[in-house]
Amino acid sequence: MNTTVWIHYARPRSAWYELPEQTQAELQRTWAALDSHAQSAGAQSMGSFFVRGQSDYSTVEIWCFAGYEAAYEHWAAKVAAGYAEWFDFSNNVGNRLP
């Protein structure tokens, strides 16, 4: 059972828009493959959403993982794949209340 939630807020950095579309697509495929890998390991994506109102970010993703370690491993893999270079972000993680 997945008891850990990971909430990921993001918005593209200015340099992202300067990348060729092919490079953007390649990076997005790489990150999507990491998402698929996490799901095959038991993580659940609750979806990606646009943020409205007063926020520094334009999107939010919500994931459920089996524990903190699994959430951290997923995030570390995305950072290693260059995600943090192209997006500003904020993460929150927590366990389900008893």
pLDDT of residue 53: 83
Phi, psi of 52 (to 5 degrees): -115, 155
pTM for this entry? 0.92
**Range list of β-strands (E), the chain:** 4-12, 44-50, 59-65, 87-95
Q: What amino acid is encoded at 3 in this protein?
A: T
Task: Report pLDDT for 28.
Answer: 98
Residue 29 Ramachandran class (φ > 0 left, ψ -120 to 50 alpha, else beta): alpha
Q: Specify whether domain 4-93 bears CATH 3.30.70.100.
A: yes
Query: Per-residue confidence of the chain (98 residues) as pLDDT tens digits?
Result: 789 999 999 999 999 999 999 999 999 999 999 999 999 999 999 999 999 888 899 999 999 999 999 999 999 999 999 999 999 999 999 998 88
The pLDDT assigned to 50 comes to 95
